[in-house]
Structure 1
Amino acid sequence: MKIAIISVSKKGYDLSFHLKELLDKDSTIISTDIYYKDIKNTIKLLFYEYDAIIAIMASGILIRSIAPLIQSKVSDPAILNIDENGKFVISTLSGHLGGANKLTSKVAELLNALPVITTATDVNKKLGIDVLAKDLYLSIKNPKEILHFNKAILNGEEIVFLLNSSGNYDFLFDYFNKNTLEIDVSIEFTSQINTDEIHVFYKNHKLIMTIETIVMGIGCKKGKSKNDILIGVNKTLNDLNISKNRLTFLASGEVKKNEQGILDLSDELNIPVKFVDMDKLKLFTSNEIHESEFVKSKFGVGSVSEASALITAGFDSKLIYKKTPFNGVTIALAISKKD
């Protein structure tokens, strides 16, 4: 998640730097930038460039600034509002699909503040269908239908998940096992839908969700074993709260194609590994990559784990877990939406 923090007062500005320092330690936060004053004009730029905006200011100033920009819960960024004393963190916009609710809880914990979340499913401790989609990295093709499903979930009514009988949906079953009390579902199988889709039904309503591609990029020192790499893999999956079954590919640089630890890991997880040509890694550029001078001096490329993940994920991919070291192993995750 790329975050912009914007403030209007000196006190808020100081809080911005404190919060940035805390967020930058989180591997799920790809970057954090700070902006100050000129709210109306700056918000217009931030709204389309960042996944989340944290506004440290009075709510009236924030609401008037973002009101003309709001378009859709699918495309609008997460918006958080914090008072300049850092006492309250308010989820203001895009609570579910944008991730504002979860970011609110995270920031409130970091600041020892009170999180304020008002979405109906959350306050009633129910699992919104859009929360499920966000948690599992599923894109919703017809988001206008979300309201009908969340109303059904709030009323305790059953919804039906339709899956392709030849697809692998273990990640979905893992998720349901953790959330059995929050949603009433039944599961049916068919051969009439694509394996990368999940269809959900409630009465005469249908929601179509597409499974996005997730690639785990791996860099490691020579001779690292499968178990050495698994330490980083498990920590990463735990940080993102996703099952290993949700990964689409593993990826690394071609120079690692004979690294037995990576090959053994691919076999154990039953996830294919793709090795990216070193020339592609050298030519690849992205403002999300955190280059390493050590890696560049050793292999001639600034990034292995992040770049190989982004390249393998394909067009319009973005990082969801920045390069993180684990005792000689680096892990990064990239995601790309399917058409």
Structure 2
Amino acid sequence: MKIAIISVSKKGYELSSSIKEKLDSDSTIIKIDLYHKNVKEYFPYLFEEYDAIIAIMASGILIRTIAPIIESKVTDPAVLNIDDNGKFVISTLSGHLGGANKLTKKIANLIDATPVITTSTDVNKKLGIDVIAKDLYLSIDNSKEILFFNKSILDDKEISFVVNPNKNFNYLFEYLNNNTLEINVSITFSSKVDKDEIHAVLDEHELILKERDIVVGLGCRRGKECEKIYDALKSSIRELDIDLSRINKLSSAEIKKDEKGMLELSDKLNIPISFVNLEKLRLFESQDIQKSEFVKSKFGIYGVCEPSALIMAGFDSELIYKKTSYDGVTVAIAISK
């Protein structure tokens, strides 16, 4: 997640600096930028460039500023509102698909504040269909159906999830098992459903959830054992709360194509691994990747795990887990658009 923190007062700026310092070590936060004053000038840019905006200011200023630029719950960034004293963190916009509700809880915990969340499914301890999509990294093709399904969930109606019997959907089953008190759901199987889709069905309504490709980029010291690489992978997906069955691909640079530990891991998990051509890595540009002068001096490229993950996830993909080191293993995770 890429976060912008914007403030208008001296006290607000001090709070924004404190929040940034606390979040900098979080591998799930790709970058954090601070903005101060010039609210009307900055906000249209922030809406385009960031996944989340934390606004430390009066709610009236925030609401009047964002009202003309709000477009859709599917595309709008998460917006949080915090008072200057850091007493309350309010999920203001895109609570589910944008991730504002989860981020609100995280920030409130970091600064010892009270989280304020008002979405109906959350306050009634129900699991919204758009929350499921966000948590499992699924896109929603027909987002107009979200309201119908969330109302049905609030009314305790049974939703049927239809999946392909020839695909491992352990990540879905585990997720639902952990949320059985929040949604009334049944699972049915049909070979007519694409393997990368989950169809939610109720009465004459259908909502299609589609997997976005999750690609784990790997780097390691020469000769690193499979189990060590596996331990690093498990640690990273634990932070994102991703089940192993949800990972679509592994990737690395072609200089690692004979790395025994990586090849064994691919076989062990039955997840394909791709090794990206060095020339593609040299030409690849992204403001989000961390550049290593050491790697550049040895191989002529600035990095392995982050760019290889982004390349294999496809055009316009994004990092959801920045390069993190685990005892000689580096892991980064990217997701397709």
Q: Does 1:315 align with 2:319?
A: no
Q: State the TM-score, normalized to the length of structure 2.
A: 0.98
Q: Residues 23-74 of structure 1: CA distance to partner in whole angstroms, max 9, x if unpaired? A: 1111010000000101011111111111000000000000000000111100
Alignment of structure 1 residues 1-339 onto 2, 5 Å: 1-337=1-337
Deviation of 1:124 (Å): 1.4
Cα distance in structure 2, aligned partners of 1:46 and 1:335? 21
**Which region of structure 1 is more displaced relative to structure 2, 259-268 or 65-74?**
259-268
**What amino acid is aligned across from residue 134 of structure 1 in structure 2?**
K
Deviation at 1:193, TM superposition (A): 2.2
The number of residue pairs the alignment matches comes to 337
Which stretch has the larger CA shift, 189-198 or 318-327? 189-198
Alpha-carbon distance in structure 2 between the residues aligned to 1:239 and 1:21: 19
Q: Which amino acid aligns with 1:264?
A: E
Offset, 1:168: 2.5
3-state SS of paired residue (1:279): helix
SS in structure 1 opposite 2:167? Answer: coil
> What is the DSSP-based 3-state SS (H/G/I as helix, E as strand, rest coil) of the residue aligned with 1:217?
strand
Q: CA RMSD in A?
A: 0.9
* 1:79-103, Cα deviation, whole Å (9 max, x unpaired): 0000111111000000000000000
Between the aligned partners of 1:269 and 1:175, the Cα distance in structure 2 is 20
Residues 264-313 of structure 1: CA distance to partner in whole angstroms, max 9, x if unpaired?
11111110110111111111111111111122122211110000000011
Instruction: Kindly provide the amino acid, as one letter, of the partner of residue 108 in structure 1.
Output: A
Distance across 2 between alignment mates of 1:91 and 1:38: 22
Aligned mates of 2:113, 2:297 — CA distance in 1: 44
Aligned to 1:121, the other structure's residue is in SS state helix
Task: Report the CA distance between 1:191 and its aligned residue.
Answer: 1.9
- Secondary structure of the 2:307 match is helix
Give per-residue Cα distances to partners, 1:102-150, cap 9 Å, x unaligned: 0000111111111111111111111111000000010001111111111
Counterpart secondary structure, 1:334: strand
Per-residue deviation, 1:160:
0.5
CA displacement 1:302-331 (0-9 Å, x = unmatched) = 110000000011111110000001111100
Tell me how far apart the structure 2 counterparts of residues 295 and 111 of structure 1 sit (CA, whole Å): 37
Q: C-alpha separation between the residues in 2 aligned to 1:224 and 1:189? A: 40
Structure 2 residue matching 1:84: 3-state secondary structure? coil
TM-score (norm 1): 0.98
For residues 83 and 208 of structure 1, the distance between their equivalents in structure 2, rounded to whole angstroms, comes to 38
* SS of alignment partner, residue 265 of structure 2: helix
Same amino acid, percent of matched pairs: 63
Measured in 1, the distance between the counterparts of 2:92 and 2:199 equals 29
Unaligned runs of 5+ in 1: none
The 1-side partners of 2:227 and 2:192 are apart by 40
